[in-house]
Amino acid sequence: MPLVNASVAAIFEEIADLLDIQGANPFRIRAYRNAAQTIGTLGTDLRTLLERGTELTDLPGIGDDLAAKVREILDTGKCRMLEKLHRQVPPAVTELLRIPGLGPKRVRTLWQELDLNTVEQLLRAAKDGRIRGLHGFGPRTEAKILASAQGYLSASKRHKLSVAARYGEQIAACLRSIAGVVQVEIAGSFRRMRETVGDLDVLVVARPDAPVMDRFVKHEGVREVVASGPTRGTVILRSGMQVDLRVVPEESFGAALLYFTGSKAHNIALRRIAREKDLKLNEYGLFRGRETVAGKSEGSVYKALGLPWIPPELREDHGEIEAARAGTLPRLVTLADLKGDLHMHSRASDGHASIGEMAQAAREHGLEYCAVTDHSRRLTVAHGLDSERLRKQVAEIGRLNERMEGITVLSGIEVEILEDGTLDLPDSVLATLDVVIAAVHSKFDLSRKRQTERVLKALGNPHVRILAHPTGRLIGEREPYDVDMQRIIRKAKAERVALEVNAHPQRLDLLDVHCRMAKEEGVLVAINSDAHSSLDFEGLRFGVGQARRGWLEKKDVLNTRPLAALKTWLRRA
């Protein structure tokens, strides 16, 4: 997301929080939150938008007032309304809203009655037993606040998609094994393939006598039971991940799956369409008065709303409903579409398996080709290859291809982009390879201008065919380096270079919004595992998920092409 957009969105969110604590009109608050959501996920820089002559009021949820505030923030870097609110409510108080179990009403009470501003102060008040005496609070609420404040201070709140998959699929398997359970599905942001997952939402259809909730709360991974009713339960796993379980009737399964898959914005948009048709949509179905119109499957609900089924990865209220109406939804790329993998490592650099073992694993994942792209010499920590070792590796790959059946191994390199934008190996060596991937692994803190120029220069090298993990971020660990992605995408277009969706669970880089930008500019994307061991090809499904969130189709993805077509493209023919 462009930086200015994020700052504007953050200001509107903060205004909404402060208004919420003040007890302002809920719809006014929602207006600020809607605007923050719109701007925060825009994909195009607000300044660019204005330069193009787009009216801010054309954006959904932005009227005259908020458009003026956006301009004020862009022009002055400040927002007078926010400053005024800060004089009424201490800025730190909004952090208390992040504590599970505390909403605006309770935060207001805690602030006004006990003068609590920070999570640390909240923790102390709970320990001292000062909260239980407040009106509307009691000892149990106080204990919950204590626990969730401690949790808040210790844990990070979102989990990588791959980690969520591991826990979620374990729990789903456990639930499926219960007699009387008919159907189990993990919904939520996991099903939408978000790069991180806050908690898992598991849906179950079961006979009334099946002991679903009982088995769920007694699952061996459960650390704490937060809530447990007949149809809804919440637990915290030992890993800190929250899991919500919903038991739903079979005739409502589709409506429930739709509802609990979200996103919230998508659901709200659907409900609005339902209202326009005098229908009511909730997790039990789509209703006209008391009559059930649809609900058993997601498709039935969409159909009754006049829409085709929309893939979960698109459900962000980001144009998918308009596209569905117009019949222009993309036919999203699937895992089965991938014919090869163009980024993997062997023991020669920092991988854990031989080239033969990696190729065999790639073949077992149904791939027709794979490229060995070990690191180049400058990345000494990864035992990067120099020209001579690389030459020997190319020869080894040649011999391997003569005896391997069912898969073709391409020679390649993940070559370092040096600080000045030149590459770590001479052109004469790069010219001998099937595929050259260029990557930044050093000097992450260059200025935006220098970092961008560095990457642009590398893309200009005639041998470079793919830019690896273009933002360099590590999810939850390292921020992306500061580059102008719009310029990089344009340069990739001009040089006919593909951008990578690195499927490594830690990376998922390109981001979804960049995939969409690349598609709009007509730049190809390569979905690569960056495998360092034979197990890492599993990650490809998350890379595909990321690409799907970016609206990519089979034709947008380089490595859906059969080997012959790929080779033609690599030669720039």
Partner DNA sequence: GCCGTTTTCGGCCCGACTGTTTTCAGTCG
What residues make contact with DNA under the rule CB under 7 A? 25, 27-28, 30-32, 34-35, 57, 60-67, 81, 97, 99-107, 132, 135-142, 144, 188, 199, 201, 227-232, 242, 244, 260, 264, 267-268, 271-272, 275-276, 280-284
* d(C-alpha 507, C-alpha 65), whole Å: 39
Nearer to DNA, 298 or 484 (CB): 298
Closer residue to DNA, CB minimum distance, 74 or 404 = 74
Shortest distance in whole angstroms from residue 200 CB to DNA: 10
* Strands 464-467, 498-502: pairing kind: parallel
d(CA 220, CA 546): 31
Rounded distance, CA 489 to CA 468, Å? 13
Q: Which is nearer to DNA, 28 or 127 (CB)?
A: 28
Instruction: Name the nearest CA neighbour of 369 among 404, 328, 333.
Output: 404
Dist CA 336 CA 256 (whole Å):
28
The C-alpha atoms of residue 557 and residue 534 are separated, in whole angstroms, by 23
Q: Which is nearer to DNA, 273 or 474 (by Cβ)?
A: 273
CB of 10 to DNA, least distance (A): 17
* Smallest separation (angstroms) from DNA to the CB of 327: 20
Phi, psi of 468 (to 5 degrees): -75, 155
- What is the rounded distance in angstroms from the CA atom of residue 220 to the CA atom of residue 223? 8
Query: Do the Cβ atoms of 528 and 559 come closer than 8 Å?
Result: yes
Measured between alpha carbons, how far is 108 from 105 in angstroms, rounded to an integer? 5
Least Å distance, CB 73 to DNA, is 14
What's the closest the beta carbon of residue 538 comes to DNA, in angstroms? 27
**For residues 15 and 240, what is the distance between their CA atoms, to the nearest angstrom?**
30
Nearer to DNA by Cβ, of 136 and 426: the residue is 136
Q: How far is the CB of 237 from DNA (least distance, A)?
A: 14
- What is the distance between the alpha carbons of residues 139 and 277, in angstroms, rounded to a whole number? 47
Nearer to DNA, 26 or 366 (CB): 26
Residue 239, number of CB atoms within 10 A of its CB? 13
Q: How far is the CB of 136 from DNA (least distance, A)?
A: 5
Closest CA to 129 of 120, 118, 140, 119: 140
Cβ distance to DNA smaller for residue 101 or 308? 101
101 vs 406, which CB is nearer to DNA? Answer: 101
Question: Can you read off the two tokens belonging to residue 510?
Answer: 């390109």
Q: Least distance to DNA from the beta carbon of 159, Å?
A: 13
Six-digit token string for 311? 């893939």
Sign of CA dihedral 553, 557, 560, 561: positive
Please state the closest distance from residue 63 (CB atom) to DNA, in A: 3
Instruction: Pick the closer one to DNA by CB: 83 or 402.
Output: 83
Alpha helix stretches (DSSP H) within 23-63: 26-40, 46-51
Q: What is d(CA 43, CA 45) in angstroms, rounded to the nearest whole number?
A: 7
